[in-house]
Structure 1
Amino acid sequence: MSAGLSPNRSSDLSALLMAEERSDLMSQELRKAEGPVVLFLHGFPELWYTWRHQILALSSLGYHAVAPDLRGYGDTEAPASSSSYSCLHIVGDLIALIDYLGVEQVFLVAHDWGAVIGWYLCLFRPDRVKAYLCLSVPYMPRNPEMKPVEGMKLAFGEDYYMCRFQEPGVIEEEISRAGTAEVLKKILTGRRPGPPLLPKENPFGIYPENPITLPSWLTEADLSFYATKYSQKGFTGGLNFYRALDLNWELTAPWTGATLKVPVKFVVGELDLVYTTPGIKEFVSSGGFKHHVPLLEDIVVMEGVGHFINQEKSEEISNHIYDYISKY
């Protein structure tokens, strides 16, 4: 505890003790809250904050809403190596959290990278998930013939965003040059369908002479919250999830061909960048998705809605969550 203290600085000690006291109080509140647990998992480049509307809505209905920052995000620890961000590490974090909460099962709600982690949680530990409401990213079965990054390069080229995220430090430097707040604003407000490309020249398409107007569902205060946390923490933790894609492929070889045995509802925006990536819409609608997730109960496609669906249509998503999990 003393490593970060300045010599003879009692104010430092007082501040640290106050922070630890607040943390202890938060932990006590987290453990003693009542009601069925709804575990929310965020995506990139978001934080627990993306669920701010759903936390209030579900809590008001008697549920215990829990929305952690995933490993490497926000106020969490952020190991430097991408090997510390494998699906086994992240699912391990979640199992430890569920155990800490003192419950056997949770209702799971997840979006974007959180949705991917949600699928892994359902695959590895279906006994801990009562039902899963998934936003934006369907379950994609493991292709035993090709590593994912190689497949993405072949399908979409070197400028495909997941490919551009692979080399440590490169995209971080490009974000730094463009400005954290501007990059976050561009990503969160983007509505262009299809696979996102990040060309070497102006990868985020930011033009000072053509400033972005925030939509009604994203305020300057919201953007400031995200930008402040990422300015403090950096993006490497979140990017390391992408850098562990091939490692996850190697680790999940034993689950090749496995089906998921958890009840699922899937909700996606019509303009979602994942849903409109070639092949995904067909996979979802043709029965391929249902084949791998046999307990898939419903698919909802929301017209005119983009990727950040739980923020853009917060009330509708809260209603979808409640309507679904209240059946159990």
Structure 2
Amino acid sequence: MEAIEHRFLDVNGINMHVAEMGPVNGPVILFIHGFPELWYSWRHQIVALASLGYRAVAPDMRGYGDTDAPSDPRSYTVFHIVGDLIGLLDAVAPHQEKVFVVGHDWGAYMAWFLCLFRPDRVKALVNLSVTLPPRNPKMKIIDMIRAVYGDDYYMCRIQEHGDIEAEFAELGTERIVKEFLTYRHPGPLFLPKGKVFSRPAETPLVLPSWLSEEDVQYYTSKFEKKGFAGGLNYYRNLNLNWELTAPWTGAQVKVPVKFVVGDQDLTYNSLGNKDYIEKGGFKRDVPLLQEVVVMEGVAHFLTQEKPEEISKHIYDFFQKF
């Protein structure tokens, strides 16, 4: 971990914090994190892949950690985020026409759009947890989700700016970090008003073996400083993204892809994702999908829960190219 380098880059109008490791001229792997995470979620993969000759690059995404967090919620659309990533690639890999990409959660979502908008920059993709969100031209995303799961579903609860932040503040940053990172229920996540997590706030939380108090304190220190609003703003742009991406209705991702998900992951067990993966929809929309791995007994934060296995999945796929 001490060998990981840190620097700040001016990309797409924001100051972005980036963690890097590996040979300067090695093939770049761009790691894109999700919510509520940081570059730190890739700490195991950065070290592992750097030791195998790759240049691992993991930013704190817009709104997170030591990267700028614009105050306007509408500054977090897919176009802003993909713009950040292209600016980052121009800065860290100016002589590499294409790079490898790994995404998890919101990072996976943004990686899909990076591949849709700029396939010329991506050699191959390993995406974790979140499948390609095919655009339904007849219904906005949040409207569709609300119709299925109601107002307490977490994506719906997050929509009103400042509302869920106030509840998070009441519970405290450390508690929120622990609640999310230890969540293992294989089904839809509901955050009812006034009772955002099902157990009382005073109930002690036992950390799994793969998550230390030191890890929790790192996340907590960064979210204490930055707050959760930047990360939550990604959710608040789901309907706006739906409007802006109308030209890509029916578009396919045409880069080589490997997809990995845990069978206990809430994303795998909600919104019809299992059927989408197993009944041909996923392969239809991602024709170069080469492999789907469903990890038994593994939940959402698989990069940390099963670090060696995830690093091996990434390496085994990328060494083909």
TM-score if structure 2 supplies the norm length?
0.92
Structure 2: any 5+ residue segments left out of the alignment? 1-5, 10-16
| Map of 1:75 onto structure 2 | 66
Name which of 190, 195, 209 aligns with 1:202: 195
CA deviations on 1:6-52 (whole Å, 9 max, x unpaired) are xxxxxxxxxxxxxxx9759x98x889812000000000000000000
**Following TM superposition, by how much is the alpha carbon of 1:202 offset from its aligned partner in structure 2, in angstroms?**
1.6
Displacement of 1:207 in angstroms is 2.4
State the alpha-carbon separation in 2 of the partners of residues 244 and 208 from structure 1.
29
Q: Does 1:148 align with 2:151?
A: no
- Cα RMSD for the two superposed structures: 1.9
Find the counterpart in structure 2 of residue 229 from structure 1: 222
- Give the letter for the 1:83 counterpart: R
1:267 matched residue in structure 2 = 260
1:86 CA drift (Å): 0.6
Are 2:206 and 1:213 equivalent residues in the alignment?
yes
- 2:245 matches 1:252: yes
Distance in 2, Cα, partners of 1:311 & 1:31: 20
Distance 1:239 1:144 in 2: 24
Aligned residue among 13, 16, 36 for 1:45: 36
2:50 is matched with which residue: 41, 47, 59? 59
96, 100, 124: which is aligned to 2:91? Answer: 100
Given residue 246 of structure 2, which amino acid in structure 1 is its aligned partner?
A
Higher strand share: 2
Q: Which residue of 2 aligns with 1:7?
A: none
Letter in 1 for 2:126: L
Q: State the identity %.
A: 59
Q: Secondary structure at the match of 1:67?
A: strand
Question: For residues 64-213 of structure 1, what are the structure 2 equivalents within 5 Å?
Answer: 64-101=55-92, 102=94, 103-213=96-206
Match of 1:302 among 295, 298, 301: 295
**In 2, Cα distance between the equivalents of 1:34 and 1:217?**
32
How far is the alpha carbon of 1:83 from its aligned partner?
Answer: 1.2
Unaligned runs of 5+ in 1: 1-20
Q: What's the CA shift for 1:311? A: 0.5
The answer (yes or no) to whether the contact 2:303–2:310 under 8 Å persists in 1 is: yes
Please tell me whether the aligned partners of residues 261 and 293 of structure 1 are also in contact (alpha carbons under 8 angstroms).
yes
Cα pair 2:22 2:56 within 8 Å, conserved: no
How far 1:195 sits from its partner (Å)? 1.1
CA contact (8 A) 2:252 2:287 kept: yes
Cα distance in structure 2, aligned partners of 1:238 and 1:123? 22
For this pair of structures, how many residues does the alignment match?
A: 307
Larger mean CA deviation between 70-79 and 32-41 belongs to 32-41
Rate the CA distance shift 1:32–1:315 in 2: closer, same or farther, 3 A: closer
- How far does residue 201 in structure 1 lie from its aligned partner after superposition? 3.0
In structure 1, C-alpha distance between the alignment counterparts of 2:253 and 2:196, rounded to whole Å: 37
User: How far off its partner does 1:160 sit?
Assistant: 0.5
Q: Name the larger-Rg structure.
A: 1
Between the aligned partners of 2:248 and 2:169, the Cα distance in structure 1 is 39
Which amino acid in the other structure matches residue 55 of structure 1?
A: I
Does the CA-based 8 Å contact 2:21-2:47 persist in structure 1? no
In 1, Cα distance between equivalents of 2:201 and 2:190:
20
Q: Secondary structure at the match of 2:142?
A: helix
Looking at structure 2, the residues matched to 327 and 209 of structure 1 have their Cα atoms a distance apart, in angstroms, of 50
Higher helix fraction: Structure 1 or Structure 2? 1
Contact 2:137/2:249 (8 A) holds in 1: yes
Structure 1 residues 146-201: Cα deviation after superposition (integer angstroms, max 9, x where no partner): 11111111010000100000000001000000111011101100100111000113
Q: Using the alignment, how far apart are the partners of 1:22 and 1:79 within structure 2?
A: 20
